[in-house]
């Protein structure tokens, strides 16, 4: 494939469900001329409570699905999949470039914290992997890190309950389980930024919230420039949305978050499918 062909190839974005749209939205804003293909593996949601073996299997299956569309880069917009599967992907995917969401978020947290005391809300799978703590320690060896598994927050987002009494009660309960000495809170699941405004209400004003969407977008843009893969031009890029189950539900929640109508088509996980906005 020529360099020009690579530059005009789409970027694949993969998540277990709707949470990865936080990353997609940041990518679309930062890279308006790129084409994207978004895959939400809603048939296997949630990933955070699955075994590492299952998460790796689902991630590789989704990545190969996206590779059929000749993607130039795979963005793993799921913290659990990043933690569990990303290290194994290059050897399993014919050296397809893959970027995850943990390292950019960890780097931002380490840089932002004044005290070095950092709390991370994540899924059970991400917490058990130790990937976030290791990444933060890489950038800030003196960091004191609290990790808390918050699986119910994924369910809140997938139900569209990002605010209201239920969200307030559950978020308040989770935050009460942390030692209140942190000055940075990392939203270590791409679903959690959809709850950011509610989470903010339960934190001191001095605590900085880090989500990996904007930091991942910066990392992706840097990668594309360094590898001569950035698509240039004046046309706005197109996006194809893929799901493996319940397209109507995904479409309804996605439109609320994105602020515009999209078309989503459902296919079995092993089939090719796409719908364009």
Separation in Å, CA 258 to CA 2, 21, 132, 180, 251? 34, 8, 28, 33, 10
Give CA–CA dist 186/175, Å, rounded.
Answer: 12
Is residue 105 classed exposed, middle or buried when 0-12, 13-18 and 19+ CB atoms within 10 A define those classes?
A: buried
Examine the residue annotation and report whether 189 is marked as an active-site residue of this protein.
Answer: yes
Secondary structure (DSSP) of 53-81: HHHHHHHHHHHHHHHTTT-SEEEE--HHH
- Exactly one of 55, 78, 186, 213 is catalytic; which is it? 78
- Exactly one of 23, 62, 122, 189 is catalytic; which is it? 189
User: Which of helix, strand or coil describes residue 193?
Assistant: helix
User: Which of helix, strand or coil describes residue 266?
Assistant: strand
Separation in Å, CA 173 to CA 85, 178, 199, 265? 30, 10, 11, 37
Sign for the pseudo-dihedral over CA of 154, 157, 158, 164: positive
User: Which of helix, strand or coil describes residue 225?
Assistant: helix
Examine the residue annotation and report whether 98 is marked as an active-site residue of this protein.
Answer: no
Sign for the pseudo-dihedral over CA of 188, 191, 196, 198: negative
Give CA–CA dist 147/127, Å, rounded.
Answer: 6
Give CA–CA dist 45/50, Å, rounded.
Answer: 9
Active centre residues (catalytic): 78, 189
């Amino acid at each position: 494939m020529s360099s020009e062909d690579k530059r005009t190839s789409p970027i694949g974005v993969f998540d277990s469900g709707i949470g990865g749209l936080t990353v997609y939205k940041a990518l679309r804003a930062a890279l308006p001329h790129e084409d994207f293909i978004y895959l939400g593996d809603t048939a296997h949601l949630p990933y955070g409570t699955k075994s590492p073996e299952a998460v790796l299997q689902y991630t590789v299956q989704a990545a190969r699905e996206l590779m059929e569309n000749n993607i130039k880069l795979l963005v793993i917009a799921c913290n659990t999949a990043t933690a569990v599967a990303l290290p194994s992907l290059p050897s399993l995917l014919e050296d397809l470039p893959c970027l995850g969401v943990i390292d950019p978020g960890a780097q931002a947290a380490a840089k932002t914290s004044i005290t070095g005391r950092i709390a991370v809300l994540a899924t059970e799978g991400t917490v058990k992997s130790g990937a976030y703590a290791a990444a933060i320690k890489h950038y800030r060896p003196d960091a004191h890190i609290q990790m808390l598994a918050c699986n119910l927050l994924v369910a809140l987002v997938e139900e569209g309950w990002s605010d209201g009494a239920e969200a307030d009660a559950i978020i308040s309960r989770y935050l009460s389980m942390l030692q209140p000495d942190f000055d940075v809170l990392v939203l270590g699941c791409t679903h959690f930024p959809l709850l950011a405004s509610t989470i903010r209400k339960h934190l001191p004003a001095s605590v900085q919230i880090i989500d990996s969407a904007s930091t991942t977008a910066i990392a992706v843009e840097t990668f594309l420039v360094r590898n001569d893969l950035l698509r240039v031009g004046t046309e706005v890029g197109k996006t194809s949305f893929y799901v493996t189950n319940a397209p109507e539900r995904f479409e309804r929640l996605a439109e609320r978050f994105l602020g515009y109508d999209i078309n989503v088509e459902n296919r079995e996980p092993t089939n090719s499918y796409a719908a364009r906005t």
